Structure 1
Amino acid sequence: MSKMPNYTSTTNACKLCKPLGASLAFRGIEGCVPFLHGSQGCATYMRRYIISHFNEPIDIASSSLGEKHAVYGGAANLKLGLKNVTSKYTPELIGVATTCLTETIGDNVPMILHEYHEEFGTDDSPAVVTVSTPSYAGTHMEGFHAATTAIVDQLTMPTAMHDKTNLFSGFISTADIRHLKEICEDWEMPITLMPDYSETLDGQALNEYPLMPKGGTPLVEIKQMGGAKATIELGATLPGRTAGKVLEERFSTKLYQLGLPIGIRETDAFFETLTTISGKTIPTKYSSARGRLIDSMVDGHKYIFGKRAVVFGEEDLVVGLTSFLAEIGIKPVLCASGGNSKKMKKAIEKVMEGMDCEMPIVKDNVDFYDIESEAAELDIDLVIGHSKGYAFARKFEIPIIRVGFPVHDRVGGQRILHLGYHGAQSLFDTITNTIIAKKQSDSPVGYSYM
């Protein structure tokens, strides 16, 4: 008798689906409409999920496949959907991401798009970028990076050398994007930052809803990325083939790959890279911010030293937060992610070098059932991650610091600043005050003076 194979089920995932990440990346391109080749339910789910974090409307088009298309294929629906989007939105770019359904039935999307351009293409037709993003083979972070790489791979052209620097910031908050742009402006360093959804997913209140919100990385700048003097790519667990790698291989653009600049050491490394590329020294504004950050760490050290934390979320964010926690005296005892790049443990070992802190337990490709089971034995004081960890934190009666994506049970999740000395200062104050508040609420008598 044959033995039944072992299966691992997901109880409460610590990741999101691949085309959702691609949709976010496409939203960061000027004049782009994200388009999912699949069922209507996929686009509806992703719109709702993104809206609840950013509190902004987002249109995601769909080829709206049904049962019969699972048998006969979705080519006709994809072509009709592209025609409708072109007519209704007049976009500059349509970003087509596949889904589980279309990958399973085997639709050849590049071939379908070639047929579409042959049948309906004109000189003023929008550009179309396609990316393969089946959810059963990755996470939202993989979809985000895949879409970013596809945009560069399919749109960038040979061009004359220019003075701009490419900055691929990874999946960060809109506040982080604005801060990176502010840093480069203060450095007098022209950049092309991609993807830039700081306005398209965090805009102003308007009297009328625009079909195409302003903002995003301009297509003309994307096409000229090959002529940049350098490329900076942020992320400690990036895939082997990235947008920066494409530019390096195709145009010999100098590539600097760094971790997310969270905390002092990682921000120092980022600023040193800006100095190397620009030839300019750090502006006083940031050296002063660094000094104030260190002073605050000295002031608050006695409240947080030795506390034990669980950190979870996207792998790059977990790596950056782990480095920061070790800097301020908090022990990251468990670092977990639903991602499965196989690079997180090595990246955490690297950022922990020289720190007076034990190496944490590192778990990838896990869900919250796994995280909860592991954390139950670790005597933790703090949970740091997105809103999906709230139930776990509530069960253990432990405070949660909300960072990353998604933040569904608080306002302002899209405006959380994580990066740079200013982001570290904000995180330090939030974490320290949360620990103080917990001690204060647990006190049998209470107190109003520290």
Structure 2
Amino acid sequence: MSAGASRRAVGQQWLQRLLDAVVSVSADMDTRTVLHRIVEAAADLVGARYGALGVLGQSGEFTDLITVGVDHQRLMTVAGLPQGHGLLHTLVADQQALRVPDVAADPRSVGFPPGHPVMHTLLGVPLMVRGTVYGNLYLADKKDGTPFGDDDEALLTALASVASVSLENARLYERLKHAAGHFQRRMLPTLPDLTPLQAAARYEPASELPRLGGDWYDAMVLPDGATCVVVGDVTGHDIEAAPLMGQISNMLRALAFDHCGPPSLIVSKLDHVLSMLDDPPTATLVLGRIECDRGQYTFHWSNAGHLPPLLIYAEGGTCYLAPTHHGIPVGIDTTVPRFNHEHLLPPASTLLLFTDGLVERRGQNIDASLDDLADQAARLTAAPLDDLCDALIAPSGKVFDDDIAVLALRLPGPQSGSPAEDRHPTARPAATTGI
């Protein structure tokens, strides 16, 4: 084989190895795993003993360091993240490739911190997309002892471009998630003063895009003095779910305020309003009224295909309010009857309304999840409502398969001379009427 053919063969092998490396890192959606594979690929293809990728935060400081060839945990413990000086600072500031044949002799070098391997040669390139520097990718000390050359720099530059796009996509993805979550929360109401009831609510968007979901909560004092509460979930999780949620929530609020009737009547009227639309949306919901008569509170509600409310007794017991008659979601069939239910609310008890995102877990039975929720709530009966809501959401670990809406309401404590109360979950079943 001639020298020219040999060089072409080596070049083709080099290009194939580079393409293989790019394909392997592009197949993983976890950004840090992608970056680690890029460092591994760079060190392997160039034959370097050490490799690292430093990630810069938006204010220009290093926020992460991914390494190959060193004890990463020990390095972080002893030296921590790189500081904004020395050769790495030069690499970021100059925004161009850097080749250093003798690190110790370079005047820009500031040496190595204790515990850091002593490196003799360095090749680094910035991670950039459209003028924005996201970090740097660098190698040190080729295993064969030769200096870094043009081919090494070209390969590292190619891999750096893959890393740069991965970092930019991850940053854009986080911005989009934040904007979507902010938009969703702006569509939800601020809870009004419901004294003597205490109230707290939480909304958490799904962790993965599309984050715009259809879960909502609402509460208000009606003209007749009753407190109206609702939690619902519009079918679907696409970009249309959030505005549909806003429409249904506003319709329901207007109907409840205008009619002040039994919950089943309000839900039935919502059904008829939705049926007039060309493409009626569907949603599950629980709509309720909390009424007070001579110090005794009663919860009247209608359930449209939703998970049942949870009543948390002051003594620590719990009870799901799940009568036999269960309505279908709204927006499906106006001829299907709606049912009213009622249940006495003991002093200092807490009523919890929630959407399925709170209890649905991949691979877990929904009944088991509901039991877990009731057990956890029973242990938090005396907790402030804000703490209760936070604690009930906490098991998700801030990773939500679906969006979550939670509304908690606490009754005032017993008063002197008040009538005997229902203090046991099974003492009085919920009454049911139909419409």
Asked if TM exceeds 0.5, the reply is no
Report which structure shows greater RCO (CA 8 Å, sep ≥6): 1
Higher fraction of helix: 1
Q: TM-score, normalised by structure 1?
A: 0.22
Structure number with bigger Rg: 2
Q: TM-score, normalised by structure 2?
A: 0.23
Higher fraction of strand: 2
